[in-house]
Amino acid sequence: MNQTSKPSQPINNPAPVMLVTGGAKRIGAAIVRAAHDQGYRVIVHCHHSKQEAIALADALNNARPDSAVVVPADLTVVDNSEVLHEFTQNIMQAFGQLDVLVHNASRFYPSPLGSINHAQWDELFLTNAKAPLLISQALYPYLRSQRGCIISLLDIHAHNKPFKNYAIYNMAKAAHRMMVQSLALDMAPDVRVNGVAPGVNILPETDSDQALDPQQQKSIIDTIPMQRIGNPAEIAHSVLYLAQASYVTGEIIAVDGGRSLTLAGGQA
């Protein structure tokens, strides 16, 4: 067995279990697929994308029976302790254990000065900071018993290089970044906590209100030393590295083709 790429598990023990929030599509689905390829059993959390999540889990279960489960939930579950408890029970009933928790779910949209409102604040902070913290706390006892880990999807704009017109998103991801470092201390030595900071690894959907035209795409690529948009599999690769990195905690890996080296801040 290749120790850098396969989940470590005592002989005769069942395969480790990874939960990916927002795992039905895009980067989340790439993490789910890559983990499954490496032998993990996977819990695909989703909200609106239930059909996509079920199709993904069906494909994985066809490849390996009883290896994927879907758990739908709006992340507002964290706002009520009883509902959060129920969510936690659903997660733990899937396979009876949890080894890796990946915080991938997120909302991402601008909040230009003058238009900032409470609803944007609540949604962007819920998905990008509050839910990751409260779900981490709720699942900590189970992760601790497995000596597991948490991996957070952050952003190169969560630290020193704010994204222009995205003040709330930048602030929420910065809070999430500090969660990674804080929990790395608070959960040591039993649970490691790390982050992956994408640059531009998948563009917004072409039918979304965040879609970028070819000129905007070109101006982004011009800021990337690697001269291309990244891809979700490159994020998944780093997530799986961190899942195996037994002496790494509190670390944040930028997977951005070098973009954070060239950003003066404010570039879209």
Q: Which stretch binds ligand NAP (CB under 6 A): 85-93, 200-208, 219-227, 240-248?
A: 200-208
User: Is residue 155 near ligand NAP by the rule CB under 6 A?
Assistant: yes
Q: Which stretch binds ligand NAP (CB under 6 A): 34-42, 46-54, 180-188, 216-224?
A: 46-54
> What is the C-alpha to C-alpha distance for residues 109 and 262, in angstroms, rounded to an integer?
23
Nearer residue to ligand NAP within complex by CB, 52 or 99: 52
Q: Which stretch binds ligand NAP (CB under 6 A): 7-15, 20-28, 63-71, 213-221?
A: 20-28
Which of 15, 18, 20, 22 is the binder for ligand NAP (CB under 6 A)? 22
User: Is residue 201 near ligand NAP by the rule CB under 6 A?
Assistant: yes
User: Is residue 257 near ligand NAP by the rule CB under 6 A?
Assistant: no
Contact (CB, 8 A) for 180 and 193? yes
Residues 88-147 that bind ligand NAP (CB under 6 A): 104-108, 127
Nearer residue to ligand NAP within complex by CB, 26 or 192: 26
List residues with catalytic annotation. 169
Question: Which residues make up the interface to ligand NAP (CB under 6 A)?
Answer: 22, 24-28, 46-49, 74-75, 104-108, 127, 153, 155, 198, 200-202
